[in-house]
């Protein structure tokens, strides 16, 4: 049984459109990852974003925080907003993913999924501040969650990757243009997960 599960996990990236997405299950060892997870949960100034959806206020179903260089401010928001200052842990992980990504990142968005009720809906990260064809490096800690992608031109073409504790997912140029992604809610009991997405803000 255990063997079967392991086999399925090892082969889970088979069939993925590798020109758009690359999965590395073991970037960070499990015990370091556990310490980082606990530190991120305890020490990050998490916020729950509120957005307007037509006339209704909608609360984002997860907690977020944004870190980076002061130059990576968000010029699109009504009031210029600045990222929090890099922590040593975030800088360490940034230096690990940069050679694998071929990009120097200047900011990172943290997502905290407290349990199976937390999620991110279908979207692609294609804001103007990310420029054209952004490369995004995603590192996951804690609860394994399913990362689903679907082709914008044909929703029947879809894949899932289970993002394991300590794993690294590289979202390559073109993914945001041609595919959408999400982390769906789950009915199963789920522990906490923290995900970091390193980005270049123009
Ligand atoms: O939690 C994840 O793995 C994905 C997060 C995401 O899509 C985003 O922050 O834009
Ligand atoms: Fe995203």
Three-state secondary structure string covering the chain: CHHHHHHHHHCCCCCCCCCCEEEECCCCCHHHHHHHHHHHHHHCCCECCEEEECCEEEECCCEEEEEECHHHCECCCCCCECCECCCHHHHHHHHHHHHHHCCCCCEEEEEEECCCCCCEEEECCCCHHHCCCCCEEEEEEECCEEEEEEECCEEEEEEEEEECCCEEEEECCCHHHHEEEEECCCCCCCCCEEEEEEECCC
Segment 167-201, tens digit of pLDDT: 999 999 999 999 999 999 999 999 999 999 999 99
pLDDT digits (tens, 9 = 90+) for 45-96: 999 998 888 888 889 999 999 999 998 877 766 667 889 999 999 999 999 9
Residue of minimum CA distance from atom 2 in ligand 1: 195
Hey, what domains does the chain have and what are their CATH numbers? Answer: 2-199 (2.60.120.590)
Give the ligand 1 atom nearest the CA of 195.
1
Does residue 3 carry a pLDDT above 80? Answer: no
pLDDT (tens digit per residue) in 29-42: 999 999 999 999 99
pLDDT above 80 for 146: yes
Rounded percentage of the chain residues whose pLDDT exceeds 90: 75
Asked if residue 197 has its Cβ within 6 Å of ligand 1, the reply is yes
Ligand 1 centroid to residue 139 C-alpha, Å: 10
- Per-residue pLDDT, averaged over 156-165, amounts to 94
Q: Model ipTM?
A: 0.99
Task: Record the pTM.
Answer: 0.91
């Amino acid at each position: 049984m255990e063997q079967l599960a392991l086999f399925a996990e090892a082969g889970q990236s088979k069939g993925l459109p590798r020109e758009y997405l690359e999965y590395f299950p073991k970037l960070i060892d499990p015990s370091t990852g556990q310490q980082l997870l606990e530190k991120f949960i305890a020490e990050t100034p998490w916020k729950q974003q509120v957005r307007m959806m037509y006339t209704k206020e909608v609360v984002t179903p997860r907690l977020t925080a944004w870190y980076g260089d002061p130059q990576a401010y968000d010029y699109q928001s009504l009031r210029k907003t600045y990222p929090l200052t890099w922590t040593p842990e975030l800088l360490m992980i940034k230096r690990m993913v940069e050679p694998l990504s071929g990009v120097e990142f200047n900011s990172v968005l943290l997502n905290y999924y407290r349990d199976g009720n937390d999620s991110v809906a279908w979207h692609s990260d294609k804001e103007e501040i990310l420029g054209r064809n952004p490369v995004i490096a995603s590192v996951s800690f804690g609860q394994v969650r399913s990362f689903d992608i679907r082709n914008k031109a044909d929703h029947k073409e879809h894949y899932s990757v289970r993002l394991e504790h300590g794993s690294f997912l590289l979202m390559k140029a073109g993914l945001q243009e041609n595919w959408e992604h999400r982390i769906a809610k789950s009915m199963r009991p789920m522990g906490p997960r923290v995900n970091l997405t390193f980005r270049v803000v123009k």
